[in-house]
Amino acid sequence: MEVIIVGAGIGGLTLALELHKVGIASRVYEAAPEIKQVGVGVTLLPHCVKALGELGLVDELGKLAVATRETVFFNRFGQKIHSEPTGRHAGYEWPQFQVHRADILKVLLDAFKARVGEDRLFLGWKCTGFEQDAGSVSGKFVSTTTGEALPPPKGDVLIACDGIHSVVRKQLHPNEGAHVYSGVNMWRGVTRMKPYMTGESYVRAGWLTPGKMVIYPIRNNIDANGNQLINWVAEVQSPRNVLQDWNLAGKLDDFYPVFAGRTHDWLDIDALIRNADSILEYPMVDREPLSHWTEGRATLLGDAAHPMYPRGSNGGGQAILDARVLTGCLKREHGVPNALKAYEENRLKPAYEVVLANRAIGPDAILRTVHERTGDKPFGKIEDVISAEEMVDSGENYKRIAGFEREALRNRPSLV
């Protein structure tokens, strides 16, 4: 069997490694002429770290990532609402990692070159669609640099890992509507600074009116002074909807006034934003759930299948789970159509439950509840606003939907 993979992101490279492990050949076609250090932070929750561990990648990731100790919720006045341990500190067998997107891609790409082979990666190949018959499928590509048509590769299966602007998805669903804009725009940045709190703390602070921050470290000891690289996301309700790509440059003046003066004893958020190395802008968008991902020998994976609001830190993780389930189906099922059907039956509903949970605020529900019940004012005692049981129940419900509830994950057999 030969699998054509469109896209060399987290989902595409993970899929290639999974397939190689079970003896299935693949070739990966990436539109970018080179894989650069782009993007900002990525969260790897325990369910996808478990999958990466079965690929033997956790030790390499651990050298580059920050293993998160806790998630802490604050209101915009800097008052602590709730905290909970994460990863191994919460009793999981696997850590939760916060990592630069470039670092996880490096780990995946190095493993791909060593195991699958560098000659199986084709850069500068931009997908324009595909053709298939009963026995095979061919990808259609042009050169990213020249626009000239390239020889169409032929295989048994074509998997689209080409992201939220997926060309393959558009071919499968030509009449699909536009992306769904949440009404929230995001500015994302990275800042070099001394560790805050434990040095391993994931922070959610404030609410969308006037603005919410998500903050976490993604690299340790980046210089001789012991500084970390801190990833942050500023979320503001806005009509902008500037849908471009993950690397659209953002401007400080477009959002900084919302957060100016937010200085707390645990972190100077004002300075964190002003001192950023770089700022990117992206609208919080997803797509309506599809009835199917598969037609014949072609299917979708990751953001091509189920783009979601990044509220639950689950986009990359769900792509990793897709890759593992799809590999298991191709390994076990007789015939490609049966395998792709089994993959879709296994993953479509759970993935869309996460999409809808993220639309419904996901783990940020605690912040919204406190914002609404206090009228966006400082509180006296948090127990008078929301009970500890309500906060714990909210978090556990999201973990169940997203597939990383601790005991269920511990008892889940290998997906391959």
Q: What is the pLDDT of residues 126-136, one digit of tens each?
A: 999 999 999 99
Question: How many Å apart are CA 192 and CA 272, to the nearest integer?
Answer: 8
As a three-state string, the secondary structure of the chain is CEEEEECCCHHHHHHHHHHHHCCCEEEEEECCCCCCCCCCEEEECHHHHHHHHHCCCHHHHHHHCEECCEEEEECCCCCEEEEEECHHHHCCCCCCEEEEHHHHHHHHHHHHHHHHHHHHEEECEEEEEEEECCCCEEEEEEECCCCCEECCCEECEEEECCCCCCHHHHHHCCCCCCCEEEEEEEEEEEEEECCCCCCCEEEEECCCCCCEEEEEEEECCCCCCCCEEEEEEEEEECCCCCCCCCCCECCHHHCHHHHCCCECCCCEHHHHHHCCCEEEEEEEEECCCCCCCCECCEEECHHHCCCCCHHHCCHHHHHHHHHHHHHHHHHHCCCHHHHHHHHHHHHHHHHHHHHHHHHCCHHHHHHHHHHHHHCCCCCCCHHHCCCHHHHHHHHHHHHHHHCCCHHHHHHCCCCC
The pLDDT value recorded for residue 245 is 64
Model confidence at 168, pLDDT cuts 50, 70, 90, reads very high
Say if 296 falls within a structural domain. Answer: yes
In a domain, 124, yes or no: yes
pTM: 0.95
Which of 35, 162, 45 lies closest to 99, judged by CA? Answer: 45
Per-residue pLDDT at 392 exceeds 70: yes
Least confident of 60-69, 134-143, 254-263, 310-319: 310-319
Q: What is the pLDDT of residues 23-50, one digit of tens each?
A: 999 999 999 999 887 778 999 999 999 9
Domain assignment present for 322 = yes
Q: Look at residue 352 and tell me if it is in a domain.
A: yes
Cα–Cα dist 336/217, whole Å: 42
The whole-number pLDDT of residue 346 equals 96
Q: pLDDT value at position 313?
A: 80
Residue 211 inside a domain? The answer is no
Number of domains in the chain: 1
Residue 208 neighbours by CB under 8 Å, 6+ apart: 184, 235, 236, 237
Q: Provide the pLDDT confidence category of residue 279 given band limits of 50, 70 and 90.
A: very high
- Confidence grade of residue 90 (pLDDT, cut at 50, 70, 90): very high
Report the pLDDT value the prediction gives residue 332, as an integer from 0 to 100. Answer: 94
pLDDT value, residue 177: 87
Nearest to 316 by CA among 169, 161, 112: 161
Alpha-carbon 236 to chain mean position: 20
Q: Which domain holds residue 150?
A: 2-38+101-178+290-359
Quote the pLDDT of residue 243.
67
Helix axes 101-112, 10-21, angle to 10 degrees: 30
**Distance of alpha carbon 6 from alpha carbon 11, whole angstroms:** 10
Average pLDDT, the chain: 94
Gap between the Cα atoms of 399 and 34, Å rounded? 36
pLDDT of residue 238: 86
Please say whether the beta carbons of 235 and 184 come within 8 A.
Answer: yes
Give the tens place of pLDDT for each residue, 210-268: 999 999 999 999 999 999 999 999 999 988 777 666 678 899 999 999 999 999 999 99
Q: How far apart are CA 331 and CA 183, in angstroms?
A: 42
Quote the percentage of the chain above a pLDDT of 70. 99
Over residues 313-324, the mean pLDDT reads 93
Q: What CATH number does the domain containing 136 carry?
A: 3.50.50.60
Q: Is residue 251 part of a domain?
A: no
Q: Which residues contact 280 (CB under 8 A, 6 or more apart)?
A: 39, 40, 187, 188, 189, 246, 247, 248, 249, 250
Q: Which two tokens stand for residue 209?
A: 């009116």
Would you say residue 299 lies in a domain? yes
